[in-house]
Amino acid sequence: MSFINNLRDKFRRAPRPARERLGDTLFRIIAFLAAATIVLIIALLVIQLFRGAIPSIREFGAGFLSSTEWDPGNDLYGAWPFIYGTLVSSLLALLMAVPLSLGIAIFLSQFAPRWLRSPLGFIVELLAAIPSVVYGLWGIFVLAPFLGETVEPFFSGHLGSIPIFAGPVYGVGLFSAAVVLAVMILPTISAISRESMLNVPRDLKEAAQALGATPWETIRMSVLPLARPGIIGAVILGLGRALGETMAVTMVIGNRPEASASIFAPAYTIASVIANEFAEVTAGLHMAALIELALILLAITLLLNLLARLLVQQTGARAARGKDKRA
Amino acid sequence: MAGSITTNNLSATFGEVRAIEGISIEIIANKVTALIGPSGCGKSTFLRCLNRMHELVPGAGTTGEVIWDGRNIYAPDVDATDVRRGIGMVFQKPNPFPLMSIADNVSAGLRLAGSKRNKSAMEEAVERSLRLAALWDEVKNKLHKPGGSLSGGQQQRLCIARALAVEPDVILMDEPCSALDPASTQKIEDTMDKLKDNYTIVIVTHNMQQAGRVSDFTGFLLTQESGEPGRLIEYGPTSKIFTMPDHKETENYITGRFG
């Protein structure tokens, strides 16, 4: 035994070379700097935007958010039509994309035969690689005319008494933009949801299956509850992309700064108006108003992210407390 | 009897790999049958063939018959989910639904289409199953807490309660105590003893002493050559298998000379 003890002492007391400790410290510093950069970039971005927006904030105050006037000729600016167009087009897109994406994710992760999984998953991810200007072209030449001649007249003809379907149809407008956005965020939402569904451990699926659960019941009982945080994360990412998408939306939304109740009416988004007007503006109030719009877009994205995060935490906490109040 | 299971020439494969071959055995109702054998001999695969869980693994296949309740569960007109409702299963690793409450975990099977119950019947079933699994006293004041909050031993008894709630004839246990401490193991063995009156139990175990303690019948499976499928070497009353087995391999394994 003394031999082993000697050996043990020998190894335990061997000090680490100083060089190695220095490397550790350096590595820690580099990692910290990398993490700090991201905070710095966001902080600088917010500060710069805020500074650029000051003239507009001074001139219009909080009224900027609610004013519907956007008249560069008379130097009058209001953000509401753009906020409205951005939110409604993105939420409509989510409404269409989320159910479809979940269907895709469930099929790919639970039902698709193995040989089909990779190719099909690849095709779905390929959708994300298509440049948005291509979607825009497709939207303006194919989708918008199609919707304007078939889907939209059908709804406005039969359900025209409901304000959201009322009014003339043009093809280009909120609805077409939402459909294009839905196609664009589909791959993001379905790919991430599929990942989180695939990560549900097999033994938890077997727990349901061993009770005699059908495939759908197994998904409802085991897969969806455990994949929920991932699915919500996927939806947030999709929403983020929809809110910020510029090119494709600009090409099909009609670019009219009006907040109309009808989803078939032309509208305008924050990202689109910035892209459209930045080239013509030199300085002054117009520039400040555009920068303030950018600040608002940033705030909306941040706010929705926070909201979604809260939602994840709350459903998680509720699940942890247990839903069953009977006991 | 509803609780007995007879296999005829049962073989199972994973793709090209033959896991078990030609197993014929008659599992007696309302008894505990232990399946023993070295790692990789196919005893878990055999168990999973008895309630058609094996086929859920991609590429898995079976041939032969498993007769339960008077019919071959692999007949084309038999629905696998019906089989699994009648032949419950407890797994090696405790797998309660982690976010679901304790009560909901137990009644999970009763909320499925095939076994729907009304609310009061469900609450009754929850209490009865938890009592049977010897967990009631420990959780009766926190039925709304998530299943994942229990200790490992409690989780495994929760899984037993969950399997019992749908009132199966047979309960298959795949090394149910291998992840548990001795005290929890003791509780589960006591539970098995109680369950024998109304249920048929088939347990796969690595623990020879456990097989000796809990089972009435024992089957010994073995892979004779590497690459060969597992076969049933010997099957009979536990007292006989453990004291005077017919086969040399059985004796060697039981006395700890290999495996």
Residue-wise pLDDT for B151-160, tens only, equals 999 999 999 9
Confidence of residue A190 (pLDDT cuts 50, 70, 90): very high
- Contact between B192 and B204 under an 8 Å Cβ cutoff? The reply is no
CATH of domain A63-321: 1.10.3720.10
Interchain pair B97, A217: CB under 8 A: no
Average confidence score pLDDT of chain A: 88
CATH homologous superfamily of B5-96+169-254: P-loop containing nucleotide triphosphate hydrolases (3.40.50.300)
| pLDDT attached to residue A317 | 57
Judged against a pLDDT cut of 90, whether residue A113 lies above it is answered with no
Looking at residues A235-246, what average pLDDT do you find? 91
Residues of B with CB under 8 A from a CB of A: 51, 53, 56, 58, 81-85, 88-89, 91, 93, 95-104, 108-109, 112-115, 123, 140-146, 149, 159, 162-163, 166
Residue from the list B81, B93, B142 with its beta carbon closest to the beta carbon of A213: B81
Interchain pair A214, B81: CB under 8 A: yes
Domain boundaries, chain A: 63-321
| pLDDT attached to residue A316 | 61
Residue B72, amino acid:
N
Residues of chain A with pLDDT > 70, as a percent, come to 93
Residue-wise pLDDT for A278-305, tens only, equals 888 877 899 999 999 999 999 999 998 8
Residue-wise pLDDT for A197-222, tens only, equals 999 999 999 999 999 999 999 999 99
Going by the DSSP 8-state scheme, the letter that residue B110 receives in this structure is G
Residue from the list B84, B123, B144 with its beta carbon closest to the beta carbon of A322: B144
Higher per-residue confidence, B219 vs A307: B219
List CB contacts of B183: < 8 A, sequence separation 6 or more: B153
Going by the DSSP 8-state scheme, the letter that residue B230 receives in this structure is B
Q: Which two tokens stand for residue B97?
A: 């639904």
Higher per-residue confidence, B89 vs A229: B89
Residue B39, amino acid:
S
- Cα–Cα distance, B256 to B259 (Å, whole number): 7
Place of tokens 């456990």: B210
Residue from the list B53, B81, B145 with its beta carbon closest to the beta carbon of A322: B145
Residue-wise pLDDT for B43-98, tens only, equals 999 999 999 999 998 889 999 999 998 899 999 999 999 999 999 999 999 999 99
Confidence of residue A4 (pLDDT cuts 50, 70, 90): confident
Looking at residues B140-145, what average pLDDT do you find? 93
| pLDDT attached to residue A161 | 84
Q: Which two tokens stand for residue B92?
A: 């090696």
List CB contacts of A124: < 8 A, sequence separation 6 or more: A104, A108, A186, A187, A190, A191
- Cα–Cα distance, B86 to B114 (Å, whole number): 11
A96 CA to chain B: closest CA distance, Å?
29
- Contact between A240 and A97 under an 8 Å Cβ cutoff? The reply is no
Confidence of residue A24 (pLDDT cuts 50, 70, 90): confident
- Cα–Cα distance, A169 to A172 (Å, whole number): 8
Least confident of A65-79, A107-121, A150-164, A219-233: A150-164
Looking at residues B100-105, what average pLDDT do you find? 94
Number of neighbouring beta carbons within 10 Å of residue B85: 22
Average confidence score pLDDT of chain B: 91
- Contact between B64 and A196 under an 8 Å Cβ cutoff? The reply is no
| pLDDT attached to residue A310 | 84
Q: Which residue of B has its CA nearest to A222?
A: B97
Residue B19, amino acid:
A
Rounded to two decimals, the ipTM of the complex is 0.92
Whole-angstrom distance between the N-terminal and C-terminal Cα of chain A?
59
Using alpha carbons only, what angle is made at residue A109 by residues B147 and B111, rounded to the nearest 5 degrees?
40
- Cα–Cα distance, A97 to A185 (Å, whole number): 7
Which residues does chain A have within 8 Å of residue B122's beta carbon, measured at their own beta carbons? none
Going by the DSSP 8-state scheme, the letter that residue A219 receives in this structure is I
| pLDDT attached to residue A260 | 87
- Write b or e for each residue in A115-126: b if 16 or more Cβ atoms lie within 10 A of its Cβ, otherwise e: eebeeebeebee
Number of neighbouring beta carbons within 10 Å of residue B33: 25
Residue-wise pLDDT for A47-98, tens only, equals 999 999 999 999 999 999 999 989 888 889 999 999 999 999 999 999 999 9
| pLDDT attached to residue A321 | 46
Which residues does chain B have within 8 Å of residue A327's beta carbon, measured at their own beta carbons? 103, 140-144
Residue A199, amino acid:
N
| pLDDT attached to residue A13 | 66
- Contact between A76 and A69 under an 8 Å Cβ cutoff? The reply is yes
Which of helix, strand or coil describes residue A322? Answer: coil
Q: Give the distance from CA A178 to its chain's centroid.
A: 13
Residues of chain A with pLDDT > 90, as a percent, come to 61
User: Are β-strands B5-14 and B60-68 bridged in parallel, bridged antiparallel, or unpaired?
Assistant: antiparallel
Assign 3-state DSSP to chain A and report helix, strand, coil percentages, each to 5.
Answer: 80, 0, 20
